[in-house]
Chains A and B, each alone.
Chain A
């Protein structure tokens, strides 16, 4: 493997890792703060991709408007899911899981019916490519990596704000946070909106690079689950570290073992769980009873 190819694969891995990191960050935020296992998280990613596709290709607006529309619409849909379905299924942790599974099945099948099973391709938005010492870097991919990093940094500073502190307090202890005068229902809605909005915007980022497909939500959800298992349930730094790790493993694995790279990931995860049940940077996640 020569150096040029190596860097090419490395950059691809970072780009995939950036997408995983954004989806996993939203998922971890929801899991850590609300103690909800949002099974429909991948579907928000898929819908975000289709929103960007429709805004840019069908309405003919600029890509940036598509991304904003994806974020806003997915945030609203996330709030809908929280207010209308999840809130009434608090009878048990797993009842919520089952409800979100049903929700994801509904969304996925609706997308199949309305968009069809074919891949939807979009023209490259930032055409042209950067050539750094033999490494060819598409501008789309560069934009993806930069925006992913910017959004993750933005999320970090958001958690330092007053509302971010309130979210962390709710994550720590819901009841005590309520006694401190924090409106937990409001915080829940905000958390869900941010988490699902991040998923939607990352779906929008992937459209010019790959394609939009109704089943892509489930595919990325599997990867995000692997990321969460590796990083540790409910641990944000762990999720980010693991996301880039999984992205790199996948990118290099594709070079060496081809189609079997998902099997490779699974084979890496099982021993990891055996030796470190809490993931790389977490402790075993306790399910609220």
Chain B
């Protein structure tokens, strides 16, 4: 009951957020939080199957470019290309990752990494796709006369994608498929012995994760209105897994959101120069892996003493 009230309160706050925060820049960061959360959740969905994909940024880029090119060269509606971007990246995931999975998780890891690089190379070298300078002036989405221009409207769009994503993922985790994933995550050999087709369930997880990566990529293209291949580089894929890890790899929905919030707002408030950010993130990641393998959300479980003290203070 308390949980439900808290959840409702959170929902109200999240919906009213643009009216509480008047700063455009903070709202911009929050839109990024929504966007990266979707990517981080995709990563942790694969992690649930004990797969690591280092190519998520590649699939993100495919969604973004598909949508941007279809809107600009064919003249399709944004709402259609939002889905097509997701489908395109899901189809590529089905082909590339499906083949890579046959050779086991390690080859999957390696091929996803190589794939992320190839995507950037192709986007940069092929002139039709914009080249290294990128695509400019991507039109913003619109419904009838209403055109998305303000940060507030984009915030609601990002939020609705995130909420749909959470609903779908929750439904999946609570269904038969989610239980199979859980079995694979605890022991692959045991899951095989129970008659679970490990290959198919793992493939399903990667395709679903890449679909949402493509959808959020399409959103990103029309929010940012310009696409540069280097923004989807290797570091971005690394950041995506850091989001999931810092929040907690065993919290599949809340973990990435918390991780992204920490990663986006912490350097902002610590005022770290962009040059030193990878070093800061790297050290943070190593410290978290060594001292807090469960992530930020596992602090109450790991330090029960702290929780007890906090509880006493509240009383």
Contacts and interface: CB of A to CB of B under 8 A. Distances in A.
Given A109-B276, A113-B275, A289 B121 contact: no
B117 interface: yes
Contacts of B275: 109, 112-113
Given A218-B234, A260-B125, 12 more contacts: A98-B245, A102-B286, A109-B275, A109-B282, A225-B110, A225-B113, A229-B107, A233-B107, A263-B118, A263-B122, A284-B103, A286-B104
B235 A105 contact: yes
Given A98-B289, A277-B102, A103 B282 contact: yes
Contacts of B278: 105-106, 108-109
Contact of B289 (A99, A110, A225): A99
Q: Chain B binding site: helix, strand, loop or mixed by DSSP?
A: helix
A102 B103 CA distance: 26
Interface in B192-220: none
A105 B96 contact: no
Interface in B106-159: 106-107, 109-111, 113-115, 117-118, 121-122, 125
B279 A109 contact: yes
A222 interface: yes
Contacts, number: 118
11 contacts: A98-B245, A101-B238, A105-B282, A109-B279, A113-B276, A222-B117, A228-B110, A229-B103, A229-B110, A269-B111, A277-B104
Contacts of A225: 110, 113-114
Sorted nearest first, the 7 A-B pairs with minimum C-beta distance are A277-B103, A106-B282, A102-B285, A109-B278, A102-B282, A105-B282, A225-B110
A278 B286 CA distance: 31
Contacts of A286: 104
A131 interface: no
A109 to B, nearest CB: 4
Given A106-B279, A109-B278, A89 B110 contact: no
B279 A89 contact: no
Given A284-B104, A287-B105, A289-B188, A103 B114 contact: no
A113 B276 CA distance: 8
Among A85, A97, A102, A103, residue most surrounded by chain B Cβ atoms (within 10 Å): A102
B104 A287 contact: yes
Interface in A47-61: none
Contacts of A270: 96, 99-100, 111
Q: Chain A binding site: helix, strand, loop or mixed by DSSP?
A: helix
Contacts of B102: 273-274, 277
A97 B115 CA distance: 18
B8 to A, nearest CB: 36
Contacts of A112: 275
A278 B107 CA distance: 9
Interface in A69-115: 85, 88-89, 91, 94-95, 97-99, 101-103, 105-106, 108-110, 112-113
Contacts of B234: 218
Interface of A: 37, 85, 88-89, 91, 94-95, 97-99, 101-103, 105-106, 108-110, 112-113, 218, 222, 225-226, 228-229, 233, 259-260, 262-263, 266, 269-270, 273-274, 277-279, 284-287, 289
A88 B275 CA distance: 28
Interface residues of B, number: 45
A98 B285 contact: yes
B258 interface: no
Among B47, B189, B290, residue most surrounded by chain A Cβ atoms (within 10 Å): B290
Contacts of B160: none
A262 B121 contact: yes
A94 B289 contact: no
Nearest to A233: B106
A95 B291 CA distance: 12
Interface string B261-289: 00000000000000110110111011001
B104 A285 contact: yes
B115 A273 contact: no
Interface string B79-101: 00000000000000000100110
A269 B96 CA distance: 10
A188 B285 CA distance: 23
A218 to B, nearest CB: 6
Among B54, B96, B113, B188, residue most surrounded by chain A Cβ atoms (within 10 Å): B113
B50 interface: yes
